[in-house]
Amino acid sequence: KLLTVFASEVDKSTGLLLGDWQKLTEFQKDDKKDDIKYRVALNADSTKMVIVSSVEGKSKNTYKVQEFDKDYKASEPVIISNEFDPKTFQLEDVLYSDKKKITMVGRIYQYEEGKKKKSKFLDFQNIMAEF
């Protein structure tokens, strides 16, 4: 139920670690069926590392955006709660600007009736960007 992310600096020429592993962050599942996803990237001016994570469950999605400096010191995380139904919303990308502005880009789907009377399927509706 717990995922821990560690980091260490790597020598570009040899591929060996230049220091010890340092703990960056932890992700906790509320339920054992929850799914943890994360992505590590750089901010807009490439001076800091940004980790965007999500804990996805049946009834909710929670996103966390956290910035780390060159010494792996974390800033205060930004927690974003998704108001969309997890079955009808698919996150495509999270953009983090140098002015600490977060843009979430996602696809919204809508249930449509299928060929049979009681069958339904998800049909793409539009792309959404939220600031």
Q: What is the pTM of this model?
A: 0.73
Residue-wise pLDDT for 51-110, tens only, equals: 988 887 766 777 888 999 988 999 888 888 777 776 777 777 777 777 778 888 888 787
Q: Greater confidence, 57 or 130?
A: 57
Mean pLDDT of all residues belonging to the chain? 81
Handedness of CA 70, 73, 76, 77 (dihedral sign): positive
Instruction: pLDDT band for 22, please (50, 70, 90 cuts).
Output: very high
Residues 6+ apart with CB under 8 A from 119: 113
**pLDDT value at 6 more than 90:** yes
| pLDDT for position 16 | 94
Nearest to 19 by CA among 29, 11, 28: 11
